[in-house]
Amino acid sequence: MRIGILTGGGDCPGLNAVIRAVVRKGIFHHQDEFTGFLEGWRGVMEDQTTALSLDAIAGILPRGGTILRTSRTNPMKKEGGIQRCLETLKRHRVEALISIGGDDTQSVAYKLHECGVKVVGVPKTIDNDLSGTDFCFGFDTAVNVATEAIDRVHTTAEAHNRVIVVEVMGRDSGWIAIYSGIAGGADVILIPERPFDIDEVAETLRQRHNRGRYFSVVVIAEGARLLAGKDDQVAFAPGKKDEFGHIRLGGIGTLLAQELEKRTGFETRAVVLGHTQRGGSPTAFDRMLATRYGIGAIDAVHRSDFGKMVALKGTQIVTIALKEALSRTRVVGQDLIDVAIGLGEPMHATALKGK
């Protein structure tokens, strides 16, 4: 078969492992031929391709990023964009398309599927918030990067009697914050699922310091919302939106640090981990999950299981309808929030209650 592959949206460690698994199984077991579309949907729209042979994928398993590169291009927002994609796919005689990406990428895949393209999706988001799958590859790597950073911040915060606020990724859900915060022993964890009151966070730190601890570590997801009067606020760079309409986040950690210092008098610093969480080599867990997704995707193609996305359910790789995967954001559940509450000062429970 002639099969197209693309990687869209923000990159994350493990993309290359998916590409490698798809191409190896396709060539070794089905004599498939592969066309790689460069830079996500831009490559499909603008006919930018590369051949994916066994040589092209040699040695990419441990490499971060994606050999196909990526973009947040949205053909549905371009004049005739979908039509141009259809023409490119026809020109290359693509019989099936594997789209590796998050909900934005898969929404375009679903549109093309409605136009008759035989599509299989592979879930990818560093935020781990795609519904229908238990885990996305790349998330484990990000949690490990963040946990290591929190460990490092701990020792310097302790040495200086400081509060350090660590801002991690997580636009609509706080998976990275809650996992790395718990694993790194953070004193306060703030996530988008629970808008917080800044006075309650300040009081949590006071409680801790009153019992003789002179430093604290706060972990906050970039999309966490601060209750200021009646309005929820998220820190973002005004006017900066991508083609899928997402505002560029970043800065809530710095804002929180300033407010905490003002309210408590404790010297406070902020650290934004940003794209360090998405870079570098995938963990063994992510290489394994990405490889299983890749094998699942090529198997789905050869079963003609189209309009689907591969997913992890418990320990099994299954396929689910693309539509289901796009239906909602998977948020952090009360079970994990209760773990954070159980470990925290009594006031942390109030700060994590949400409004």
Which residues in 203-222 contact ligand F6P (CB under 6 A)? 222
Angle at 70 between CA 101 and CA 309, to 5 degrees: 15
Task: Return the number of the residue (90 or 241) whose C-beta is nearest ligand F6P.
Answer: 241
The answer to whether residue 103 is catalytic is: no
CA distances from 22 to 29, 101, 238, 284, 349 (A): 11, 15, 40, 18, 45
> Which one of 119, 218, 220, 249 is in contact with ligand F6P (CB under 6 A)?
249
Candidates 58-66, 123-131, 158-166, 318-326: pick the segment binding ligand F6P (CB under 6 A): 123-131
If one asks whether residue 25 binds ligand F6P (CB under 6 A), the answer comes out as no
- Minimum separation from the CB atom of position 126 to ligand F6P (A): 5
Residues 253-292, one symbol each (x = binds ligand F6P by CB under 6 A, - = not), give: -------------------------x--------------
If one asks whether residue 193 binds ligand F6P (CB under 6 A), the answer comes out as no
> Which one of 109, 119, 126, 190 is in contact with ligand F6P (CB under 6 A)?
126
Candidates 116-124, 169-177, 192-200, 335-343: pick the segment binding ligand F6P (CB under 6 A): 169-177
If one asks whether residue 235 binds ligand F6P (CB under 6 A), the answer comes out as no
- Look at phi and psi of residue 170 and say left if phi exceeds 0, alpha if psi is from -120 to 50, else beta: left
Candidates 41-49, 155-163, 168-176, 188-196: pick the segment binding ligand F6P (CB under 6 A): 168-176
199's CB contacts (< 8 A; 6+ apart) are 263
Task: Return the number of the residue (10 or 307) whose C-beta is nearest ligand F6P.
Answer: 10
Crossing angle of helices 175-183 and 334-343, in 10° steps, is 30
Cα Rg of the chain, angstroms: 22
Distance CA 73, CA 196 (A): 34
Task: Return the number of the residue (126 or 217) whose C-beta is nearest ligand F6P.
Answer: 126
Distance CA 122, CA 72 (A): 16
If one asks whether residue 171 binds ligand F6P (CB under 6 A), the answer comes out as yes
- Minimum separation from the CB atom of position 89 to ligand F6P (A): 26
- Minimum separation from the CB atom of position 102 to ligand F6P (A): 6
If one asks whether residue 10 binds ligand F6P (CB under 6 A), the answer comes out as yes
Burial 20-53 (b: 16+ CB within 10 A, else e): bbbbbbbbeeeebbbbbbbbbbbbbbbeebbebe
- Which residues pair with residue 164 across a beta bridge? 217, 269
Task: Return the number of the residue (52 or 136) whose C-beta is nearest ligand F6P.
Answer: 136
If one asks whether residue 181 binds ligand F6P (CB under 6 A), the answer comes out as no
Candidates 121-129, 251-259, 304-312, 334-342: pick the segment binding ligand F6P (CB under 6 A): 121-129
- Minimum separation from the CB atom of position 129 to ligand F6P (A): 9
Catalytic residue chosen out of the listed positions 32, 127, 129, 187 = 127
Nearest residue to ligand F6P, by Cβ distance, number only: 169
Task: Return the number of the residue (23 or 226) whose C-beta is nearest ligand F6P.
Answer: 226
If one asks whether residue 169 binds ligand F6P (CB under 6 A), the answer comes out as yes
Backbone torsions φ then ψ of 193, nearest 5 degrees: -65, -20
> Which one of 127, 140, 203, 286 is in contact with ligand F6P (CB under 6 A)?
127
Residues carrying an active site annotation: 127
- Chain residues binding ligand F6P by CB under 6 A are 10, 125-127, 169-171, 222, 249, 278
